[in-house]
Structure 1
Amino acid sequence: MNTTAPAGSVSIYAEASPNPESMKFVLNSQLVREGVSVDYPDAEAAAYSPLAQELFKFDYVGRVFIAANFVTVTKTTEHTWTQLIPELRTFLKSYVEAGGPIFTVDPAEEQRAAQVAAGAEGSAEDQATSQKIIDLLDNYVRPAVEQDGGNITFKSYNDGIVTVNLQGSCSGCPSATVTLKSGIENLLKRMVPEVKEVVAEGVTGGF
């Protein structure tokens, strides 16, 4: 599969995220179907995204997150966004307008397989609880978190402990702990009584 963004004139604007090291670049073109997102913590992980591979060639790009109509770039240097935004915006505009490939495999299929695998562990009761958690994250958490240029996905449920992955701008974000504990943990405890705690993986800089 060779997924490309629609050709034509592309407009892009940069939008700050709660993570000062991450910037969200919003396009007027759709890069991947709604409800699907892909997080690349390093260049090696981006084997199936030519767009992400090209972004990692900029020596200050440390993480790439691609969702419906935006790309979140997390930088690794002391450079300011004022210096970096024009270059990244120009690159993205040229790449998408030229019809450059976004993915070489369908990320929706990969995401679906990962969720099925994650929710299929444990007893039948645990599997049912896992599915409730996945549905809540997809319906209530994902839309809000994507507004900030990131995502939080389900990894596992075991003995009342929910483990999630922080992606995009959420990884390493100073406000991630507050969001996780006061927001997501409270929501899941209220809606799924079996949940005792929510913990996170995929965090840089400690959690």
Structure 2
Amino acid sequence: MPKIAEIDDTPNPNAVKFTLHEPLSWGIAHSYESAEQAVNDPLATALFALDHVTNVFYTDRWLTVTQDGAADWPALVRQIAVPLRAAPAAAAQSAQRVTAARLAVHDMSEQEQVRFARINDLLDQHIRPALQADGGDLHVLGLAGDTLSIHYQGACGTCPSSIGGTLASIENLLRSIEPELAVEAV
């Protein structure tokens, strides 16, 4: 039963970030853009049952909920707190399972895997901490030639600055190691 440590606004006016005392997961992000996607996740299902909820994103010790802009935040925050407090804290998971989930790379040559790991390391060091501080994250969908496809999660998914300035910053940073690399948000 995670206890809420803090509730913070994010740069996205339609998203709020809940910081928790206990983890909901061990390093595995859960991102849902609809109730249908969340069908096998009891916490996300309970949150989507609330009026106006359009996105649920959580990992470890925080959760971000995005609404459609029509809800009163103070009232919605009180409603969100009920299933969040009722959710079980993360069960112990083996390090092997977490590592496998983080390092899943599909059908890449050894050289592509090294390149992909280098890009992810740079994102982990310079981009993800800032996105996570604002209640979001990004997931790398793939690397095809000189194009990196990413998907914003949580508060970043519908934030106007994600598509403009943040995307350009990510691309500029990655071009410091690969000058021809383009980044697209999907």
Q: 1:25 aligns with which of 7, 18, 31?
A: 18
Residue of structure 2 equivalent to 1:51? 43
Give the conservation status (yes or no) of the 8 Å contact 1:27–1:70.
Answer: yes
Count of aligned residue pairs for this structure pair: 183
Residue of structure 2 equivalent to 1:179? 166
Residue of structure 2 equivalent to 1:63? 55
Secondary structure of the residue aligned to 2:79 is helix
Query: Percent of pairs identical after alignment?
Result: 31
Give the conservation status (yes or no) of the 8 Å contact 1:163–1:200.
Answer: yes
- Going from structure 1 to structure 2, the CA distance change for 1:124 and 1:130 (only over 3 Å counts) comes to same
Give the conservation status (yes or no) of the 8 Å contact 2:52–2:69.
Answer: yes
Residue of structure 2 equivalent to 1:198? 183
Matched, 1:116 2:104: yes
Q: Equivalences for 1:42-191 in 2 at 5 Å?
A: 42-93=34-85, 95-96=86-87, 100=88, 109=97, 112-113=100-101, 115-118=103-106, 120-121=107-108, 123-177=109-163, 178-181=165-168, 183-190=169-176
- Going from structure 1 to structure 2, the CA distance change for 1:60 and 1:102 (only over 3 Å counts) comes to farther
- Going from structure 1 to structure 2, the CA distance change for 1:14 and 1:84 (only over 3 Å counts) comes to same
Give the conservation status (yes or no) of the 8 Å contact 2:55–2:65.
Answer: yes
Give the conservation status (yes or no) of the 8 Å contact 1:30–1:69.
Answer: yes
**For 1:169 and 1:75, how far apart are their aligned partners in 2?**
10
Displacement after TM superposition at 1:47 (Å): 3.2
**For 1:111 and 1:151, how far apart are their aligned partners in 2?**
18
Displacement after TM superposition at 1:101 (Å): 7.0
**For 1:40 and 1:110, how far apart are their aligned partners in 2?**
20
Query: What letter corresponds to residue 167 of structure 2 in structure 1?
Result: L
Displacement after TM superposition at 1:55 (Å): 0.8
TM-score calculated relative to the size of structure 2: 0.84
**For 2:111 and 2:45, how far apart are their aligned partners in 1?**
41
- Going from structure 1 to structure 2, the CA distance change for 1:137 and 1:13 (only over 3 Å counts) comes to same
Secondary structure of the residue aligned to 1:74 is strand
Which segments of 5 or more consecutive residues in structure 1 lack a partner in the other structure? Answer: 202-207
For residues 135-163 of structure 1, what are the alpha-carbon distances to aligned partners after superposition, in whole Å with 9 as ceiling and x for unaligned? 22233322221111011121111221111
Displacement after TM superposition at 1:167 (Å): 0.6
For residues 98-146 of structure 1, what are the alpha-carbon distances to aligned partners after superposition, in whole Å with 9 as ceiling and x for unaligned? xx4779x99x94884475234x43x543332122112222333222211
Secondary structure of the residue aligned to 1:170 is helix
Displacement after TM superposition at 1:65 (Å): 0.3
